[in-house]
Structure 1
Amino acid sequence: MASPADEENGLSSSMRAPLLQTHGRLPGHEGEATFARTCFNVTNALSGIGVLSVPYALSEGGWISLALFFLVALVCFYTGLLLQRCMDADPHIRSYLDVGEFAFGYNGRIIVAIFMYIELYLVAVSFLILEGDNLDNLFPNLEFQLLSLTIKQKQFFLLVSALIILPTTWLRNLGGLAYISAGGVVASVILMCSLLWIGVTETGFQMKGRVLNLGGLPTALGLFFVCFTSHAMFPTIQASMREKTRFSKVLVISFALCIFNYGAMAVLGYLMYGENLKSQVTLNLPPGKISSKIAIYTTLINPLAKYALTITPISFSVEEWLAFHLKRSHGTLVRTLLLLSTVLVASSIPFFGYLMAFIGSFLSIMVSVLFPCVFYMKIYRVSFQRNGFEMVVIVGVMVTGVLISVVGTYSSIAQIISSL
């Protein structure tokens, strides 16, 4: 029977029925991560490769698009809070898939799984592309001969990156991953400081660039959404937290840190290189300089720190589906095969910027903006009659998200096709 508090919030007794215990459970180590470790995990989840593409996004949209950057951050923070409330609706919810099932039954779980896993998988692929591009920039013109096969430098660097990342994917405790996440957060700060140093000592800063570029806004918005859309990992991270009621404070701290870091990177990069910015700002840095090498080396740390956290929800579900989650050796095999598959895909997709724009415009908006709004309205029975102002805000967020998704997805796909 529903409690009075639940009835007031719009939760029916049927909605409070416990979820199946076998769905979405983390394989051990639940509730072990401290508040600080959770902050590191969420900040690391948010402050990923978007930090490299956000200057390019600003160059695509122009200076006025910086206002859209802050609007995107606010929208994603709000939907993060909605997602947390959805998790708070039932103590058995342990994953993003559980939220979908709690709201819409098994069909909701399947739909969420399709979008969420494709998004996380492509983000993991983009990490490897980034590693290959930047190592290629550091060590150009390398080529290896293995028997009758010729291994090109970028393929070689993808393999090296995968071998380095592999041990981090075997960690099953998100509290332990927090130490790796801390390295990713520190790397983002070092990258921003390195870019500032290069601007002061090498390239200088010039007030150049377009005020507004309407044609580039779809790409810019898609890349902005990539910066703040890690919602698929939020439930998994919250489930690993000791004090789950403090997760909203974690979101405040993590979003504030990432807004400052992303915003500073965007402005610095655009002031330094203007319209000549490449899809990754590190590819613009002057070769051979110590400051450039520091920036690129720290850039390489971010995917190493973030890959395991990104792939964890996928591996948990695969292990669960295969009923291997009680056997560590089988879990290790699943994660190893997932990593190998992303290496193969990364070697065949060279369009980093366009891929990121597609992820942001289509998959990230669906998973991080539209789904949390729909789930929240369903679970808490939000309506114009009961919650007029809140309903207006949520509908406004959803309409804006749909418009941006349609335009941005079309633009990114068109750019990928034209580059083939």
Structure 2
Amino acid sequence: MPGENVKMEPVGASKQQGEDDGDDYDPHLHRDVESPTTNAETLIHLLKGCLGTGILAMPEAFKRSGMSCGIVSTFLIGILCAYCLNTLVKSQYVICKRLKVGLLTYPESMKVACEIGPKCLNRFAPHAPLIVNIFLIVYQLGICCVYIVFVGANVKAVADYYMPPEKQIALPLFMLIFFIPFLAIICIRNLKLLAPFSVVANIITFVTFGVVCYYVFQNLPEFSKYESFGTLVDYPLYFGTTLFSLQAVGVVIALENNMATPKSFLGPFGVLNIGMGLVTVIYVGMGMMGYWQYGKDIKASVTLNFPPADYLAQAINIMYSIAIYISYGLQGFVPVQLLWSNYIVQRLEDSQHKLRWEYLLRFGCVVVTFVLAMTIPLLGLFISLVGSFCLSALGIAFPAIIELCAYWPDKLGPCRYVLFKDILLIIIGVVGLLAGSYSAILAIVTELTK
């Protein structure tokens, strides 16, 4: 991962260096990037990273929030996500400038932030990288679980049409059919081998969106019959799903670190804001149109609402499942690398069986994701749980903590507005995590005990 081998200077020395506002050190000029990306390539990667399974779950999210509330709230959450991502990237730049290093990983940034921030946070500095890595690993494994449930549900929808009811297989057992293919793709250690398949997956993704539009725009019912607001109990579930869909904190950090012109990433019309603006508009459109077409009958993935007898619907369910299957290899690569690089390989320095242990780790990750997916085969609620628990912290609370520490104690702006603003963001993140996770777990338990 970028910045993993950065040599950090003692914090005390860094404080002295950082207090010189006239310091000409520019971290962007001290990055060693082998294949930097252009602004256009970065924008394309950003869109690809944000447009995943979450977009097909947005219509169900609108069912939970209500039509008007969903439209407004999705725009507001999109703005919140974009703002927090901007905050994170800016704060990392400030910390890198203070330490005189080219770049830092997210866990490293959190550790240094706790070291240079308020005294009450200093004690958490040694544990900060572990905390961030836990959330990152749980988030990535959660995405893998969502992908398994998505593939199983969509392929099963096609298979069930051709099988009599008494021979249909339950979803958890149906997912088990794909264990070996998922294990095979996560065992690919060289991501370059997946690159051609990723291109195919991207083409399938955009074709799928076109087919979704074909179905959801046909014979729309009266718009006025839909409730403007959902219930307060269901709103945290909507929040978790939308946050899962819109937030791409891991992608954003990696993309900014690998840009040829990283200064173009931020700014009112920078790559980040343009990308997040487009993504938010697309998500609002998908959520509104899907809910408008199918109403209360909307399912966890809008593709499951397509007429099961239509060959086009069957084809798109299979094709998009293939695209998501390919993406599993990419998403699963992240937790494997985090666990292997940070916690395992150091313990195997003298071992002659490192490769064997690495494959065992990959096998273990697949087993964990399959066990969770088969235990909780509820696509929509799983998405909401992952979004609420992981991204409320990674995408909202943690960036606010890093910014507060980066500008602590004398650069918090007039009336220390940065302090109060970041405290508000931390509260939003904590409330979103607790309320969203509780609502999702309660809903999951209710569904499983029916």
Q: 1:257 aligns with which of 275, 278, 283?
A: 278
Aligned to 1:323: 345
Q: Offset of 1:288 from its aligned partner?
A: 1.6
Q: Indicate how the Cα distance of structure 1 residues 119 and 187 shifts in structure 2: closer, same or farther if over 3 A, else same.
A: same
Q: Indicate how the Cα distance of structure 1 residues 133 and 69 shifts in structure 2: closer, same or farther if over 3 A, else same.
A: same
Percent identity (aligned): 19
Q: 2:57 aligns with which of 35, 53, 62?
A: 53
Matched ranges for 1:72-221 at <5 A = 72-88=77-93, 89-90=95-96, 91=101, 93-104=103-114, 105-140=125-160, 155-160=173-178, 163=181, 166-167=184-185, 170-172=188-190, 182-201=199-218, 204-207=220-223, 208-215=225-232, 216-221=234-239
**Between 305-314 and 66-75, the greater mean CA deviation after superposition:** 305-314
Q: One-letter code of the match for 1:71?
A: L
Q: Offset of 1:243 from its aligned partner?
A: 4.3
**Between 49-58 and 403-412, the greater mean CA deviation after superposition:** 403-412
Q: Indicate how the Cα distance of structure 1 residues 221 and 245 shifts in structure 2: closer, same or farther if over 3 A, else same.
A: same
2:430 equivalent to 1:402: yes
CA contact (8 A) 1:72 1:225 kept: yes
Q: Indicate how the Cα distance of structure 1 residues 37 and 306 shifts in structure 2: closer, same or farther if over 3 A, else same.
A: farther
Aligned to 2:297: 276
Q: Offset of 1:53 from its aligned partner?
A: 1.0
Give the alignment's TM-score, normalised by structure 2.
0.77
DSSP-derived class of the 2:55 partner: helix
Aligned to 2:399: 372
Ranges in structure 1 where 5+ consecutive residues have no aligned partner: 17-28, 144-149
Q: Offset of 1:133 from its aligned partner?
A: 0.5
Name the CA distance, whole Å, in 2 between partners of 1:277 and 1:345.
24
Name the CA distance, whole Å, in 2 between partners of 1:177 and 1:43.
19
CA contact (8 A) 2:211 2:316 kept: yes
Name the CA distance, whole Å, in 2 between partners of 1:382 and 1:49.
42
DSSP-derived class of the 1:32 partner: coil
Name the CA distance, whole Å, in 2 between partners of 1:176 and 1:99.
31
Q: Indicate how the Cα distance of structure 1 residues 158 and 52 shifts in structure 2: closer, same or farther if over 3 A, else same.
A: farther
Matched ranges for 1:293-372 at <5 A = 293-320=314-341, 321-323=343-345, 331=358, 334-372=361-399
Q: Indicate how the Cα distance of structure 1 residues 111 and 153 shifts in structure 2: closer, same or farther if over 3 A, else same.
A: closer
2:75 equivalent to 1:70: yes
Q: Deviations over 1:338-379 (max 9, x none)?
A: 234322322222122112112222221011110111012112
Name the CA distance, whole Å, in 1 between partners of 2:21 and 2:427.
24
Q: Offset of 1:331 from its aligned partner?
A: 4.5
Q: Deviations over 1:25-69 (max 9, x none)?
A: xxxx95425234443433222212111111100111112221111
CA contact (8 A) 2:154 2:304 kept: yes
CA contact (8 A) 2:49 2:248 kept: yes
Q: Deviations over 1:91-143 (max 9, x none)?
A: 36453222222223321111112222112211211111111000100111789
Q: One-letter code of the match for 2:222?
A: Q
Q: 1:267 aligns with which of 288, 303, 320?
A: 288
- How many positions carry a matched residue from both structures? 398
RMSD: 3.6
Name the CA distance, whole Å, in 1 between partners of 2:180 and 2:50.
21
Q: Offset of 1:295 from its aligned partner?
A: 3.5
Aligned to 1:20: none
**Between 236-245 and 105-114, the greater mean CA deviation after superposition:** 236-245
DSSP-derived class of the 1:221 partner: helix
Q: One-letter code of the match for 2:427?
A: V
Name the CA distance, whole Å, in 1 between partners of 2:197 and 2:109.
27
Matched ranges for 1:1-12 at <5 A = 6-7=18-19
CA contact (8 A) 1:80 1:368 kept: yes
Q: Deviations over 1:294-317 (max 9, x none)?
A: 442343244234323323331112
CA contact (8 A) 2:57 2:241 kept: yes
Q: One-letter code of the match for 1:252?
A: N
Name the CA distance, whole Å, in 2 between partners of 1:371 and 1:258.
22
Q: Deviations over 1:116-173 (max 9, x none)?
A: 2112211211111111000100111789xxxxxx986653445437616743662545
CA contact (8 A) 1:238 1:244 kept: yes
Aligned to 2:249: 231
Ranges in structure 2 where 5+ consecutive residues have no aligned partner: 1-12, 115-124
Q: Indicate how the Cα distance of structure 1 residues 239 and 231 shifts in structure 2: closer, same or farther if over 3 A, else same.
A: same
Q: One-letter code of the match for 2:35?
A: E
Which structure has the larger Rg? 2
Q: Indicate how the Cα distance of structure 1 residues 339 and 164 shifts in structure 2: closer, same or farther if over 3 A, else same.
A: closer
Aligned to 2:10: none
Q: One-letter code of the match for 1:399?
A: I
Q: Offset of 1:404 from its aligned partner?
A: 3.0
Name the CA distance, whole Å, in 1 between partners of 2:274 and 2:184.
30
**Between 409-418 and 235-244, the greater mean CA deviation after superposition:** 235-244
Name the CA distance, whole Å, in 1 between partners of 2:411 and 2:297.
48
Q: Indicate how the Cα distance of structure 1 residues 218 and 345 shifts in structure 2: closer, same or farther if over 3 A, else same.
A: closer
DSSP-derived class of the 1:214 partner: coil
CA contact (8 A) 1:128 1:162 kept: no
Give the alignment's TM-score, normalised by structure 1.
0.81
Q: Offset of 1:10 from its aligned partner?
A: 12
